[in-house]
Structure 1
Amino acid sequence: MPEIGRVVKVLRGKDEGSYAVIVGIVDDRFVQIVDGDKRRFDQPKKKNVLHLEMQPVVSHEVTDSMRETGRVTNAKLRFVIQKAVQGKENDCG
């Protein structure tokens, strides 16, 4: 189930194979994602949830920041994604 702060892998589109974080839920089919790098917090991408693979990682840093200030820094987003991807690589290896 999509939730704010969840790390996702993009399965479709030009960003296919990259990771992002959900920062907004539009409705039951669409969410807003950002990666802090190419896709900054100020310009979230609207994506169909069917085109995303939900990862088991939910960043409490992102959810807390969104709840308190309504935004999150791009550096924090990059850090969260990097940590999630490294954790995934460690699980496989």
Structure 2
Amino acid sequence: MKESDSNPQIGQIVQIQKGRDAGQYAVVIQRLDDKFVFIADGEKRKFDSPKKKNIQHLQCQDYMNEEVRRSLLETGRVTNGKLRWALGKFVEEVLEDLEKGDELDGERRRH
């Protein structure tokens, strides 16, 4: 396990690996201790009712949303809209690039 996998930071995007929400993405909004964090996505899981998750059940993404992080560190809060925006931006920038890369690789192999 990489170091970043075992040490999620506030504002970092994580993919849920275990439980009902497996496969979905969320934002770390608070670290409770060395084992647990609170996550929220601003939609199903709002800021005011975050999900407590064991960090072993999360896969940290190499993506930190600085606006969400700054808001949480400065005020202790973030809007649900900003959480949704951060996740949307992550999907747009990171996941779509990965898919495009996969498509290019597939096309190269076919030719």
Per the TM superposition, whether the score is higher than 0.5 is yes
Name the counterpart of 1:89.
96
Where is the strand percentage greater, Structure 1 or Structure 2? 1
1:2 partner SS: coil
Larger radius of gyration: 2
1:42-53 matched pairs, under 5 angstroms: 42-53=48-59
**Normalization by structure 2: what TM-score?**
0.80
Residues paired across the two proteins, number: 93
Shift of 1:85: 1.5
The higher relative CO (CA closer than 8 Å, separation ≥ 6) is in 1
1:15 partner SS: coil
Distance 1:89 1:11 in 2: 20
Shift of 1:36: 0.2
Distance 2:10 2:74 in 1: 13
**Normalization by structure 1: what TM-score?**
0.95
Name the counterpart of 2:39.
33
In structure 2, list runs of 5 or more residues that go unmatched.
1-6, 101-111
Greater Cα shift, 79-88 or 13-22: 79-88
Share of identical aligned residues, percent? 48
RMSD: 0.9
1:63-78 matched pairs, under 5 angstroms: 63-78=69-84
Shift of 1:69: 1.3
Where is the helix percentage greater, Structure 1 or Structure 2? 2
